Amino acid sequence: MENRIKITLDYPPVWLAAFLVFAYLTRGVVGPLAQTEAVLALSFGLIGIGIGVMCIAAFTMWRHKTTFIPHRYPQRLVTQGIFRYSRNPIYLGDAFTLVGFSLLYGSIIGLLSVPVFMVVIERRFIRKEEKKPQRSVCTRLRPLGKENAPLDVTSRHRGGVGCAIMLRNCSGSM
């Protein structure tokens, strides 16, 4: 399993930056949002929440010694901390940030682009990332054999049921 950074611009922060530029360029096209103190406070609050969620998630993954960089294979499946509430908190933080900046720019089109951003992220990254832990677990457990692996996995990991289900799915092609 290759764990080097791919030379590509296909990373979530690049997509977020593109959507942020789009929101900025389309401000006032449909009609500006009212820039009241409440809207400004909400926009800065959402930007802060988004960046905070991203940082907490990245720190949690770093603390568990696994990668938060797309296109790499994670070493562990993190289910603690912020990951108890969201499987993809970094992308959730991206969405909060995009909403916040769209409000700050006064871009109605920017707000309407948030679901499009989420679909792009889901199709380009989340679908692939959710297959990686299974492949990683299967690669490590296949030598144990079917009769021993579920017992070994359950005894070492909290939530061993999920690992046993993943192992059952290992019998297919990877």
169: confidence class by pLDDT, cuts 50, 70, 90: very low
Summarize pLDDT for 146-156 with one digit per residue, the tens. Answer: 444 333 333 34
In a 3-state reduction of DSSP, which class is residue 79?
Answer: coil
Within a domain: 108? yes
- SS3 at position 50: helix
Nearest in space to 61 (alpha carbons), one of 43, 80, 44: 80
In a domain, 140, yes or no: no
Predicted confidence (pLDDT) per residue in 57-85, tens digit? 999 888 878 866 665 666 667 788 898 99
What span, in angstroms and rounded, lies between the C-alpha atoms of 44 and 67? 29
Residue 90 lies in a domain: yes
* Helix, strand, coil shares, percent, the chain, to 5: 70, 0, 30
The answer to whether position 143 is within a domain reads no
Specify the pTM. 0.71
In a domain, 166, yes or no: no
Q: Is 142 among the domain residues?
A: no
Q: Is the pLDDT of residue 101 over 50?
A: yes
**pLDDT higher than 50, residue 108:** yes
Residue 149 lies in a domain: no
Domains in the chain: how many in total? Answer: 1
The answer to the question of residue 101 being in a domain is yes
Full residue range of the structural domain in which residue 112 is found: 12-130
